[in-house]
Structure 1
Amino acid sequence: MSPVYIFQFFILFIGVNSFTLLIYMIYYGQLFSSICCDTFEKQYDYIIVGSGTAGSVIAHRLATETNYTFIVLEAGGKGIPLFDIPVLGPLLHGSIYDWRFETVPQENACLAMNNKKCRLPQGKIIGGSSKLNNMIHVRGNTSQYVDWFQAKYGKDFIEQQFQFVEDNILHLNEIKYESEFASAIIEAAIELGYNTIDEFDKGFRKSKVSQNNGKRWSTSDKLDISKHVLTNAFVEKVNIKNNIAYSVNVLISDKKYKINARKGVILAAGTYNTPKILQLSGIGPRDVLEPLNIHIIQDLPVGLNLQDHIATGLDLILFDKTLAVNPMNMLNPFHIFEYFVNGRGPLTTPGCEAIGFLSTGGDDTPDLQFMVMPVGISADRGTHLKTSLGINQTIWDNYFAQSFDKHAATILPIVLHPKSKGKVYINRTGPKTPPCIDPNYLSNLDDVKTLIDGIKLVIKFANTSPMKALGAHVNSIHFPGCEEYLIFSDEYWECYVRHLTLTSYHPVGTCSMGHSASDSVVDTSFRVFGVERLFVADASVLPTLPSGNINAAIAMMASLFFETTIKSTGVGLTSSISLVCKKTDFLNDYVQRICLNEKVSR
């Protein structure tokens, strides 16, 4: 390694580890403060589990449009405004604000990762994964969402929910700073005959991001955290009696409590944690629960139908010169000043400067998304991104580290609707034991073919005149483990994608919505089949993946849940036995608690 790279590594190492130390100081300082100062009631009208995009939208609308009492239980911490600097988002991956999930060893994918396990970052912080993502706002194919709800709601109504969230909860902006790569990609798309687009369609556009004055903006930023959110509150299970959900067990500062819900428990803990909580509560597949001696309340396909946007192609595009977005630029005092004073500059970069949607089948429906990223993982010289992705050392040394003399960038092809499906399941009853996550990546050969077609399109882009003008070329280093194949042949690319398999952090489907309890977990009103007053309203209910980044679709879905299940009915219960009482009606409340034979402890 040359002296220049050693110096860069040293500077970045100090920066990354100083930030990591700061993260721990902030987290434990806030944890100590919450132990001393946080208070909560014994019961509320609604309990929301999880403060991610969905939970925060529901909480915001409950707070502003109803007089219901509610509490949001968040297992993670609060974070600080410093974390909202967009360029720092990747540094939260693998931190104490990340659940640090990973897959079980994969047979057909993740071969370049340690132990054949892909890392699965998920936010453990107020705001959830929207505090770790690329902030890209994509509505996707809105016609698809009509199918999610079995045509119960029309396209116009669904688009109204998008509009409500965009106008009242999110802040959306065009990107504030971009490298030369962004414009070159748009020009290259035009040269290849593709359109520039505004919303979901075949073609390319520069990214629209969820930012406010250059800083990351999440749906949780609209919440009164001190009033409605309890942090470091780890929900263990939902308590159910007579097929009615009435409370949750929650661990707060190593003490167990039960908090009652008069009208409903709303699970919004995410695609991995929500099925785990349901299974621990006795709702899930019989073959998962019986071996663990968990009393089965409802035999439902909880944890099945896991889908994720899979991608590949990190550091596949190399440039002979450094682009305007690079790690050393982030340390420039002028750019730091520009961010804090004007909300502009490279610190506002979302990591993805442009997106595109293309079809490999020749029809009008895109099956690939492309994310244009001006830096690769080799840019930080191995100080953080290698570890957060779990790249094994041999792959790093023999592939990524060999490009230090170039500027690496990525056009990431993403399979929009993969046919490979997996599952999430518990194998122990300990609430703090992570769930087993088996996405079964690339088990369907159609997904492999789509990714290979995507790589071929990336190569076409690299060979356009706008890209050549920047000195772009395809990384010709043979990927370790694929040396037996002719480089750039279909056999080589299949080996490549099976090694360098990447998640886009878009898991859905593990508590799928539908008409029947035989193949679904919730109905089209988000009610868990067979259990009153228990709802799921997060990415886990989506029966299929949206056509693009999922944050916007999740926010829409959460708004629709509130509009149709809470606001329109006024109650969260459809039962012939009325256990719902007005919060001012002490007698009914007292009778309800006696009926459920539950003592609420604190």
Structure 2
Amino acid sequence: MSTQEYDYIIAGAGSAGCAVAYRLIENGAGSVLLLEAGEKDSSMFHKIPATVVKVFQQKSWPYMTLPQKHANNRSMLIAQGKVLGGGSSVNGMIYIRGQHQDYDDWKEKWGCEGWGYEDVLPFFRKAEANESLGDRYHGEEGPVPVGENRFRHPLTQACIRACAQMGLPYTNDFNGATQEGAGFYQTTIHKGERASTSQTYLKRVAGNPKLTVLTHALVHRVDIDGKRASGVTYSIKGGAPITAKARKEVIVSSGTFGSAKILMLSGIGPKEHLESVGVKTKLDLPVGKNFHDHLHMSLNATINEDISLFQEDKGISAVKHMLQWQMFRSGLMTSNILEGGAFVDSEGVGRPDIQLHFLPLLDNFDNTPGEKPEAEAHGVSIKVGHLRSKSRGEVRLKSSDPNELVEIDANFLSKPEDLENQIRAVQTGLKVLEMPSLKRIVKRVIEPDNIAIDDKQGLEAFVRENIKTVYHPGGTCKLGTSTEDSVVDLQLRVHGVDNLRVVDMSICPQVPSGNTNAVAMMIGERGADLILQAQ
């Protein structure tokens, strides 16, 4: 077994891990080893925004839940990026931070002092280079370009107009003073290309002799000597184990599933569970608990005009779009497809609780594989979902083998209010489809098929059969002050272990309201700042 030594070791080169690596190198904090289980993001399809479905399907960990008893015993796909840049290299590129109250809830409801909205806002701004917004909510000089889509599909525009007709205000900033409204999402797309954390943060320090980036590197465990994290053991492409020593800190940034798995394989987790899979317990902490995710359903409607994206990826159309992108970085291929959306306060309480995504084709690409046939018509989809699940599940090891994926007991819809909230989300989407700008082009709503907007029983059946994840998992290494219900302290240090932090979406007490890539980058920025302060 060979041995290496660095000042810092980061397990996971996703949205948070890349941010941490960049800030440590930029500030001259020492040598950094960045380990990524996936491959390099060198494929052209990582650069093309519109090929999001292709890269997502091919460059992700194929996580599946156990059968969900509250969702007709269906297993659900919760794929997560397995490539340099992590989720930012395979996601829909939507830039959403969540609501002010989400972070104030972290502070006030879960006791996470120092993590309120005004505490985290500087780190959102630090990450961002916004091309068009410059008030107190936005940054202009960060590593990550955030801006407007240059391609806007007429069906997306029709959906946004429908929301206005329903009474929602139009907005060009879901990340400012308020989240409520409908409009085009800002995205992490720059000059027609995906701006992942690999192509932004890491690219800025590419070639720096203090940074070593290894791909195909699977972390087996964090090595712990007494009460101190001394390094990690990993392997490259299934080869012999390699030990890397950390002089200063080990930072685990492998995501909600990967970080929980690494900690548990290291002997940090629920004692009874670890012993059941043959892992000796070093610290009894609630790793894997508090798991939750955003859920949604796709409302699909056929249309009476052949203007959707159906068949645009075939034949002459595909060639034309690709040539336009290659020659001019313009046209359909620069679109993230999910170009627009809305946040709706469905209960009239002054805080949005439902998110809509607009899709200019019939959506079935993120269903569980084999669950539904391919769409065979022009259409439009409104993806609807409630933003703050109360149900909690658990992530566990299947065995002590680091090559094996974790077991995900998601427990979706186990709280009755979650079901009620998702039914209301479907009703909200159906109202949008009834507005004039969509009513005149919709031929027939096919999902849900022939279910009236006030048919609670029918809508409940639809929800249970069609609900799926939005790939925004969080919570398994929860932030907090008590070892009874949290894994990391308010500086992201694992309780009871020196020189070990978790820095990614797994720390969220409650996943913020909306898409999560911006949140992961903020956590990376905040984590890096905490590490630098501790030097």
TM (normalized to structure 2)?
0.90
CA distance in 2, matches of 1:63, 1:145: 28
CA distance in 2, matches of 1:225, 1:99: 26
CA distance in 2, matches of 1:413, 1:551: 19
- Does structure 1 conserve the Cα–Cα contact (< 8 Å) formed by 2:287 and 2:476? yes
Work out whether 1:84 is the aligned partner of 2:47: yes
CA, structure 1 residues 48+110, in 2 after alignment: closer, same or farther (shift >3 Å)?
Answer: farther
Aligned ranges for residues 491-530 of structure 1 at < 5 Å? 491-530=457-496
Q: Which residue of 2 aligns with 1:424?
A: 395
Work out whether 1:278 is the aligned partner of 2:278: no
By how many angstroms is 1:66 displaced?
1.9
Q: Which residue of 2 aligns with 1:390?
A: 369
Q: 322-331 or 518-527: which moved more?
A: 322-331
Q: Which residue of 2 aligns with 1:452?
A: 423
- Does structure 2 conserve the Cα–Cα contact (< 8 Å) formed by 1:110 and 1:501? no
SS where residue 266 of structure 1 aligns?
Answer: strand
SS where residue 295 of structure 1 aligns?
Answer: coil
By how many angstroms is 1:110 displaced?
6.0
Aligned ranges for residues 343-492 of structure 1 at < 5 Å? 343-377=329-363, 385=365, 389-392=368-371, 395-396=372-373, 404=376, 406-471=377-442, 473-475=444-446, 478=449, 489-492=455-458
CA distance in 2, matches of 1:477, 1:109: 16
Question: Unpaired segments of 5 or more residues in structure 1?
Answer: 1-39, 379-384, 480-484, 571-602
CA distance in 2, matches of 1:503, 1:357: 18
CA, structure 1 residues 472+364, in 2 after alignment: closer, same or farther (shift >3 Å)?
Answer: farther
SS where residue 101 of structure 1 aligns?
Answer: coil
- Does structure 1 conserve the Cα–Cα contact (< 8 Å) formed by 2:325 and 2:331? yes
Work out whether 1:128 is the aligned partner of 2:82: no
Q: Which residue of 1 aligns with 2:532?
A: 567
SS where residue 433 of structure 1 aligns?
Answer: coil
CA distance in 1, matches of 2:94, 2:429: 20
Percentage of matched positions with identical amino acids:
31
CA distance in 1, matches of 2:488, 2:216: 28
CA, structure 1 residues 87+234, in 2 after alignment: closer, same or farther (shift >3 Å)?
Answer: same
Amino acid at match of 2:288: G
**Alpha carbon RMSD of aligned pairs, Å?**
2.1
Aligned length: 504
Amino acid at match of 2:51: L
Amino acid at match of 2:533: S
- Does structure 2 conserve the Cα–Cα contact (< 8 Å) formed by 1:110 and 1:118? no
Work out whether 1:55 is the aligned partner of 2:17: yes
- Does structure 1 conserve the Cα–Cα contact (< 8 Å) formed by 2:68 and 2:412? yes
Amino acid at match of 1:121: A
Amino acid at match of 1:360: S
By how many angstroms is 1:417 displaced?
0.3
Match of 2:291 among 289, 301, 306: 306
Amino acid at match of 2:97: R
CA distance in 1, matches of 2:160, 2:452: 31
SS where residue 70 of structure 2 aligns?
Answer: coil
CA distance in 1, matches of 2:298, 2:57: 21
By how many angstroms is 1:317 displaced?
2.2
Match of 1:555 among 516, 521, 524: 521
Q: Which residue of 2 aligns with 1:269?
A: 254
CA distance in 1, matches of 2:461, 2:370: 16
CA, structure 1 residues 368+560, in 2 after alignment: closer, same or farther (shift >3 Å)?
Answer: same
Amino acid at match of 1:569: A
- Does structure 2 conserve the Cα–Cα contact (< 8 Å) formed by 1:173 and 1:209? yes
CA, structure 1 residues 522+187, in 2 after alignment: closer, same or farther (shift >3 Å)?
Answer: same
By how many angstroms is 1:477 displaced?
7.0
By how many angstroms is 1:346 displaced?
0.9
Q: 316-325 or 554-563: which moved more?
A: 316-325
Aligned ranges for residues 6-405 of structure 1 at < 5 Å? 42-82=4-44, 83-95=46-58, 97-109=59-71, 116-148=74-106, 150-153=112-115, 155-167=117-129, 168-197=142-171, 198-199=173-174, 200-221=178-199, 222-223=201-202, 224=205, 227-253=211-237, 254-314=239-299, 316-328=300-312, 331-377=317-363, 385=365, 389-392=368-371, 395-396=372-373, 404=376
Amino acid at match of 1:520: S
Q: Which residue of 2 aligns with 1:7?
A: none
CA, structure 1 residues 419+569, in 2 after alignment: closer, same or farther (shift >3 Å)?
Answer: same
Deviation readout 1:563-601 (Å, 9 max, x if unpaired): 1x222232xxxxxxxxxxxxxxxxxxxxxxxxxxxxxxx
CA, structure 1 residues 487+136, in 2 after alignment: closer, same or farther (shift >3 Å)?
Answer: closer
SS where residue 161 of structure 2 aligns?
Answer: helix
CA distance in 2, matches of 1:183, 1:435: 41
- Does structure 2 conserve the Cα–Cα contact (< 8 Å) formed by 1:191 and 1:464? yes
SS where residue 376 of structure 1 aligns?
Answer: coil
CA, structure 1 residues 477+449, in 2 after alignment: closer, same or farther (shift >3 Å)?
Answer: closer
Amino acid at match of 1:140: G
Name whichever structure is richer in strand by fraction.
2
CA distance in 2, matches of 1:335, 1:310: 32
CA, structure 1 residues 192+493, in 2 after alignment: closer, same or farther (shift >3 Å)?
Answer: same
By how many angstroms is 1:338 displaced?
1.9
By how many angstroms is 1:488 displaced?
7.0
Name whichever structure is richer in helix by fraction.
1
Larger Rg: 1
By how many angstroms is 1:486 displaced?
7.9
CA distance in 1, matches of 2:281, 2:526: 30
By how many angstroms is 1:58 displaced?
0.4
SS where residue 392 of structure 2 aligns?
Answer: coil
Amino acid at match of 2:242: Y
CA distance in 2, matches of 1:324, 1:490: 31
CA distance in 2, matches of 1:389, 1:142: 33
Deviation readout 1:145-169 (Å, 9 max, x if unpaired): 2443523255334211111100322
By how many angstroms is 1:256 displaced?
0.8
Amino acid at match of 1:567: L
- Does structure 1 conserve the Cα–Cα contact (< 8 Å) formed by 2:12 and 2:36? yes
Deviation readout 1:393-415 (Å, 9 max, x if unpaired): xx53xxx65xx2x3132111121
- Does structure 2 conserve the Cα–Cα contact (< 8 Å) formed by 1:313 and 1:410? yes
Question: Unpaired segments of 5 or more residues in structure 2?
Answer: 130-141
SS where residue 72 of structure 1 aligns?
Answer: strand
CA, structure 1 residues 104+265, in 2 after alignment: closer, same or farther (shift >3 Å)?
Answer: same
By how many angstroms is 1:472 displaced?
5.2
By how many angstroms is 1:420 displaced?
1.2
Q: 215-224 or 241-250: which moved more?
A: 215-224
- Does structure 1 conserve the Cα–Cα contact (< 8 Å) formed by 2:106 and 2:116? no
CA distance in 2, matches of 1:76, 1:126: 6
CA distance in 2, matches of 1:205, 1:65: 38
CA distance in 2, matches of 1:145, 1:451: 23
Deviation readout 1:253-285 (Å, 9 max, x if unpaired): 411110000111000000001111111111001
TM (normalized to structure 1)?
0.80
CA distance in 2, matches of 1:475, 1:508: 32
Q: Which residue of 2 aligns with 1:582?
A: none
Q: 301-310 or 439-448: which moved more?
A: 439-448
Amino acid at match of 2:8: Y
